[in-house]
């Protein structure tokens, strides 16, 4: 194996998910560049992240155990994350989440936000998936509730007590003597963060925060007919709050990939379809593949159909969002003129031309026919 992920995490090959997660937390605390100033700390942390990315995912781990490598792995699993508090957005992964975790480790620090933030992720869908609706598994990194303390931050045998620094008020008063007299200021208590409470025995796993960096795998149900740019809000799946404070939401933004044949116009679908000159002149009933799997749509081509004429089939477009109705299906007709015809076909067309009273050109010379074929 080119890279031994089990050695990097210092676990056995039969380690379960809980053991892998615990080993990752332990190593991440040691190697994160915010706390480890060694020259190779950042590189080793990236390597650790990659190992966890593979071994925490059942499919990737199976592939790695079988072949010794996994295609397309990386520190953040290749997903993009957006902090919706930042109006300009910012991409971040597990490394940045650990930075937030270390920054909030001092659970009483007043400048640490208690409530979890909203997070965002993009989800690509095909037009076929939009038409049918689909279940999708998404993978993302977040600060999740600590399983060891149930998100409270309280360790075994510990409890929440009144803050000694502010006597439970959440505020501290500072008196400064000046030549104008005593100046009194009030500020948020740095020990309890304004809550008036502290923990006498913090959870050792999460250092009293009540949350830990984790890689989440969740399956979402995308309803049919969803639009490009439309968002799905998953309540409570964003960043977990400190000490059990409310979690943020996960905002899933849908991006629909262009289709090679169909063009979408709201709930309507457009497609170009070629027909012969006889079908255009005489009319015909043709079958066109629809957007739903295995669906074939009957299209009535009217007599005398012109090139670039549009034929409309009601109710065969995209299913409308969360409804049982569908948009319409528009077929843009292309009348194909044959480039090469045999003697009998020429005779029939000449007879038709005479019948219709149209003028036609003379017979093509062999050289002209060669030029026609080359063009």
- Report d(CA 131, CA 261) in Å as an integer: 14
Per-residue model confidence (pLDDT) at position 74: 44
* CATH class, range 82-144+213-258: mainly beta
CA dist., res. 114 & res. 246, Å (int): 8
Please work out, in degrees rounded to the nearest 5, the angle formed at the alpha carbon of residue 233 by the alpha carbons of 230 and 236.
Answer: 165
Q: State the CATH class of domain 263-374.
A: mainly beta
- C-alpha span between 268 and 206 (Å, rounded): 51
Q: 248-277: buried (b, 16+ CB within 10 Å) or exposed (e) per residue?
A: bbbbbebebeeeeebebeebbbbbeeebee
Cβ contact 349:276 at 8 Å:
no
Q: Where are the domains of the chain?
A: 1-75, 82-144+213-258, 263-374
Q: Are 84 and 119 in contact (CB under 8 A)?
A: yes
* Average pLDDT along the chain, 375 residues, taken 10 residues at a time: 86 93 88 85 89 89 89 44 38 68 56 81 95 93 90 91 90 82 83 84 88 89 96 94 90 95 97 96 96 96 96 97 96 94 90 81 64 64
Instruction: Give me the pLDDT at residue 20, please.
Output: 93
State the fold for domain 1-75. Helix Hairpins (1.10.287)
Q: Are 160 and 297 in contact (CB under 8 A)?
A: no
In terms of Cβ atoms closer than 10 Å to its own Cβ (0-12, 13-18, 19+), residue 135 is exposed
State the pLDDT at residue 270. Answer: 98
CA atoms within a 13 Å half-sphere pointing along the CA-CB vector of 193: 17
């Amino acid at each position: 194996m080119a890279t031994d992920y089990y050695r990097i995490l210092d676990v056995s090959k039969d380690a379960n998910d809980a053991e892998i997660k615990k080993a990752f937390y332990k190593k991440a605390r040691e190697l994160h560049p915010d706390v480890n100033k060694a020259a190779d700390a950042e590189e080793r942390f990236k390597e650790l992240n990659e190992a966890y990315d593979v071994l925490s995912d059942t499919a990737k781990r199976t592939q790695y155990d079988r072949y010794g490598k996994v295609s397309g792995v990386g520190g953040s699993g290749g997903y993009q994350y957006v902090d919706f508090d930042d109006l300009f957005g910012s991409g971040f992964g597990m490394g940045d989440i650990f930075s937030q975790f270390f920054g909030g480790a001092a659970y009483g620090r007043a400048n640490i936000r208690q409530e979890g933030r909203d997070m965002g992720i993009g989800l690509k869908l095909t037009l076929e998936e939009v038409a049918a609706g689909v279940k999708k598994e998404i993978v993302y990194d977040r600060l999740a509730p600590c399983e060891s303390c149930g998100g409270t931050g309280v360790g075994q045998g510990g409890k929440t007590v009144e803050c000694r620094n502010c006597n439970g008020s959440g505020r501290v008063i500072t008196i400064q003597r000046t030549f104008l007299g005593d100046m009194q200021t009030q500020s948020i208590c740095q020990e309890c963060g304004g809550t008036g409470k502290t923990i006498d025995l913090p959870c050792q796993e999460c250092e009293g925060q009540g949350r830990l960096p984790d890689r989440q795998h969740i399956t979402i149900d995308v309803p049919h007919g969803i639009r490009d740019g439309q968002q799905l809000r998953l309540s409570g799946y964003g960043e977990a709050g400190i000490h059990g404070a409310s979690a943020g939401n996960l905002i899933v933004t849908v991006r629909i990939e262009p289709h090679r044949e169909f063009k979408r116009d709201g709930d309507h679908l457009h497609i170009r379809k070629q027909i012969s000159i006889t079908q255009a002149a005489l009319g015909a009933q043709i079958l066109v593949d629809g957007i739903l799997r295995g669906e074939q749509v009957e299209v009535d081509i009217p007599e005398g159909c012109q090139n670039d004429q549009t034929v409309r089939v009601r109710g065969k477009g995209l299913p409308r969002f969360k409804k049982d109705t569908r948009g319409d299906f528009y077929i843009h007709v292309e009348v194909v003129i044959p480039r090469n015809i045999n003697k009998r076909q020429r005779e029939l067309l000449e007879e038709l031309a005479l019948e219709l009273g149209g003028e036609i050109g003379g017979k093509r010379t062999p050289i002209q026919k060669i030029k026609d074929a080359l063009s």
